[in-house]
Each structure stands twice: as structure tokens, then as C-alpha cells.
Amino acid sequence: MSYFSKLASSIVRGRLPYENWNNFRAEYLKRASSLGLTQFSLNLVSLLETEEVWQERGAADIAKDFTDLLKEAVAASFDREALEDKILAMRARIKNGMDCLVTYTDRFMVYQYVINCIRYNFDEFDIDDYSDDDFTQELMTYIQSSKDPSASRLNTMEVLKGLPIRMTRSRFFEMVKDGFSVYKDSDRKTLDDFLYMVRSSAMLYSPENMDMFPDLYEYDRHFADLDYEALDADGFFVEDMTLVECIDFLNNQVSAFDLLAQLINHLYVVVLSNEYADTQADAYKSAMGIMSTGLAIFEENGPFEPDESMEIMLADLEGVQEEELEELETADSALEDIVVSKFTQSADTLILLQMNELDSISKLFSTSYFADLKKEDIGGSADAAAVDEAFAAFRAELEPILKNSKKLTSRAIMASVIGYLPVSFEGPDALREHIRGSLAACTSLPEKMALVERLQTVMEGDDWE
């Protein structure tokens, strides 16, 4: 039995619960400090090597302001409460930036779908040996290639959003309504999360500060207003190349913001656990050395060039991450046992706050980089009336846009939304018929072959982004 499990067992059984809780918390924070410093340092080096943080746009603006937080964190002492406030403000800013990037991703996927549909109006395509029946079988084999139901559902969604769209708006909204119906009797937050996804995929959602990425902001407006059907060959290839460049920039920004999100979370852990850091450990000294070096590089405006001293410091961190992750995984499991025990019911406010702090640290280490650090209020369940109301509002918002958009854009939006629906079919034969029918209904060979080619890349492991 691990140290954390032994302490938790004693607490649950009422054996010196307060003394054992203090020991549990102290050991947890010591381990969290070690892991936080290690992960922060490793990701800081990755950030220094990321080209986007040395540019003039997007992630670069965040990285510049991040330097001030880093400067405070490496100081001999700091005002914990003030630094926490700054970290939370920066975390919210990074979350907003990622929200904007996800929104742009959904929008540029729509534009990419349209561009793909008209690609072979201006380029040669090969239709030899193609048949709808054979390609349907290829797609079904891909969908059923995994025994994992979640992976199979994901494959299905990828295929459905890549198929030619040949359906009436009424049929489309029937599919959407079926997708909404899955969320009846779920908790309200789950329904709200789904509604956010389909609104974003339909280009109905716009977070604040979209103009923090000026180029994406301008090109989003450009591609939204573009008359794709009026393009000639020269115009098409200019727009195609511009879209590729936008998507490349978008993907690079997402990667940079992903690193920034991890860094701000790990920095928060470092601050929360600072009192329990093992300042005599080689890993601690090396982590602080890496942080100081990173600060100097940022202040000198880079770029980063690793040297022998950095390699030595990184070597001191080898193995620390794996060891501490394993210990904290056990600690989190033990903490869950404590939280549901009688000890918690009789605990005073201070201990409850300490439990919430450890819960927050656990969330900061998770892969859900923007998890709410407060106790979540589920907000009740979504009954049938709430789901129907949400669907009706979504339809009322989207239907006039589909009606007034160009045909290709309308189809692209439908495809994007379908990609997020938990669509169900009555067995594989029904799914097969839907796929074959979608392919057969597309009588535009240039459009069909372009989408077939794109679906082939999806089956080969590529994705729409």
C-alpha cells in the first residue's frame, strides 16, 4: 500500500484524522511542486523553440506578457495572492485565445470544404476504376476497422462530414433534431457543450477578441464574402494557396497556445505548492535554472539556442516526471476516498479549502487545460422540453443563413454540423445505404472526385484541419 493510501485509510477510519490529513496534504504539495516545476521547465524549453512566440502576432503577444509572470515566479519571494490573480487573468486570456482559434478552425474547415468541391473545375481528375459501391465498401471498412466503439463513432463522423451533401434543409434539420434528442435527460452542461460545438461548426458563434489574430480576422471575412462560383482558374489557385497559408498559420498558433495553456497551469501549481518545494533537490535547482535562463532569453527577445549548460539542467529532470505522475495518480485516488468519507462531513472550513486546493492542482495537471477550477454546478438535467427548445433556437438561427447562402457554402455548413452530430443508424446496412446514396446523388463529377480524394486522405490518417 502506498504512503498516500495508508494516510487516506487512517483518515477514513478516524485514526488521527487531522494529523494524517496534514501529512497527506504536505506530501501531496511536495510531489506537486516537483512535478509542476519539471513539467513547466520542459514545456518552457519547447516554447522557446517555438517560432510563433518570436513573431509579432497572436501567441507572441501572450508570450511577451507571460515573461512578467515568470519574472515574479523566479524571485526569492513573491506576493502569492497577487501572483495568483495575475495567473488566473492570464489563464483566462489564453483560454479566450484558444476559443478564438477553435472558432477559426471551424470556419476555415467550411471554406476548405467549398474550395475542395470546386478544385477539379480547374484541374484534371482521375475517375478510372471508381465506383460508388466500391468506395462505399472502403469507407465502411474504415469505419469498422476499430473494435473500440468510440473510435468507430469518430470514424463515422469523419466520413459523414466529408460526404457530398445532397439533401433538403428539412432532411438536414431532421438529422440535427435526432442529434439533439440524444441529450434528453443528460445534465444541462452536456447539452450546453453540444450546443456550443454545433453553433461554432455552423459559424454562428463568435467569442470576444477574434481580432487578436488580425490576419485570420481579415481572411475570415474575405472567405465568408467570396463568390466561389465566379472564380476562374487563376483566381481559384490564388484563393487556394491563401487558404492553405491561413490554415498553416492557424495550426501553428493552436500548437503555441496549447503550450502556453500547459505552462500557465504548471506555473499556477508551482505557486500553489511553493511552500513545500524541496529546494535542496538537484531537480529543483535545475528547474529554477531553466526558468531563469528562459526569462533571460525572453527579455533579450531570443531566439533560443540550447547550450551545454541547458542540456545538463535538463538531464537532472530525467525520470522525475514519470515518478511524480505515478505518485500523484495514487494520491488523487486516495483523495477521492477522503472526500466522500465522514471526515469531510465534519471538517472545518480550512480543511475544505485545502481539499479544494488539491482538487484544483489535480485539474491543472490534467489534459483538460481549461478545466473549471471551481466546484462545478451541473445546473440540473436537460429534460425533453429543454432539448426541444435548444434545437428550435438553433434551427431558427441557422435556417435563414442556409437559405440565403450560396449553394456550396450552405452545403459546407451542413457538412460541418453533421460532423459534430451523434448520428445513429439502425445497423451497418442503414449506414452503408446512407453513404452510397450520398455518393450516388452527387452528379457533379469534379465535386465528387474532390471529396472522394479528401476522404481517402482521412482514411490514411489525415484530418480536415
Q: What is the pLDDT of residues 387-407, one digit of tens each?
A: 999 999 999 999 999 999 989
Range name among 180-189, 218-227, 260-269, 373-382 with the lowest pLDDT average: 373-382
* Predicted pLDDT at 303: 62
Q: Are residues 282 and 388 in the same domain?
A: no
> Do 114 and 172 fall within a single domain?
yes
Q: Given a cut of 90, is residue 154 above it in pLDDT?
A: no
Report if residue 54 sits inside a domain. Answer: yes
123 and 178 co-located in one domain: yes
- In the listed set 332, 365, 398, which residue is the last one of a domain according to the structure? 365
Using the predicted structure, report yes or no on whether residue 359 has a pLDDT greater than 90.
Answer: yes
Same domain, 305 and 411: no
- The predicted pLDDT at position 465 comes to 45
Domain-embedded: residue 406? yes
Residue 320: predicted pLDDT: 93
**Considering the domain boundaries, does residue 353 fall inside one?**
yes
Please say whether the dihedral angle defined by the alpha carbons of residues 102, 104, 110 and 113, taken in this order, is positive or negative. Answer: negative
- Asked which of 334, 365, 396 is the last residue of a domain, the reply is 365
Tell whether 133 and 189 lie within a shared domain: yes
Residues 304-345: tens digit of each pLDDT? 677 788 889 999 999 999 999 999 999 999 999 999 999 999
- For the ranges 56-65, 81-90, 298-307, the lowest mean pLDDT is seen at 298-307
Q: What's the confidence (pLDDT) of residue 352?
A: 94
Same domain for 359 and 221, yes or no, is: no
What's the domain range around 24? 3-74+273-365
65 and 159 inside one domain? no
Q: Please indicate, yes or no, whether residues 410 and 304 belong to a single structural domain of this protein.
A: no
Q: What confidence tens digit (pLDDT) does each residue in 12-54 have? A: 999 999 999 999 999 999 999 999 999 999 999 888 888 777 7
Query: Is residue 84 situated within a structural domain?
Result: no
Are 189 and 241 found together in one domain? Answer: yes
pLDDT of residue 378: 53
Q: Is 264 among the domain residues? A: no
Could you tell me if residue 94 is inside a domain? no
Q: What is the pTM of this model?
A: 0.87
pLDDT value, residue 157:
86
Least confident segment among 37-51, 370-384, 420-434? 370-384
Q: Are residues 333 and 398 in the same domain?
A: no
Quick one: 334 exposed, middle or buried, by C-beta within 10 A (0-12, 13-18, 19+)? buried
- Measured CA to CA in angstroms, residue 292 lies from 76, 83, 289, 431 at distances of 12, 17, 5, 57
Q: What is the pLDDT of residue 286?
A: 94
Domain final residue, candidates 318, 335, 365:
365
Lowest mean pLDDT among 55-59, 103-107, 247-251, 328-332: 55-59
Q: CA-CA distance, 224 to 108, in Å (whole number)?
A: 9
Q: Does 452 reside within a domain?
A: yes
Q: For residue 330, is it within any domain?
A: yes
Q: Quick one: average pLDDT of 197-204?
A: 95
Q: Is pLDDT above 70 for 288?
A: yes
pLDDT (average), residues 128-149:
89
- Between 227 and 427, residue with greater pLDDT: 227
- pLDDT above 60 (res 464): no
pLDDT of residue 302: 65
Query: Cα–Cα distances in Å, from 352 out to 20, 343, 349?
Result: 15, 10, 5
Q: Using alpha carbons only, how large is the chain's radius of gyration in Å?
A: 26
Examine the domain organization and report whether 345 and 441 are in the same domain.
no
Report the C-alpha gap between 96 and 136 in whole angstroms.
40
pLDDT greater than 90 at residue 410: yes
Distance between CA atoms of 29 and 52, rounded to whole angstroms?
A: 33
- With contact defined as beta carbons under 8 Å apart, do 143 and 152 qualify? yes
Give the count of beta carbons closer than 10 Å to the beta carbon of residue 393: 12
Name the amino acid, one letter, at 85.
D
Q: Say how many domains are in the chain.
A: 2
Are 163 and 68 within one domain? no
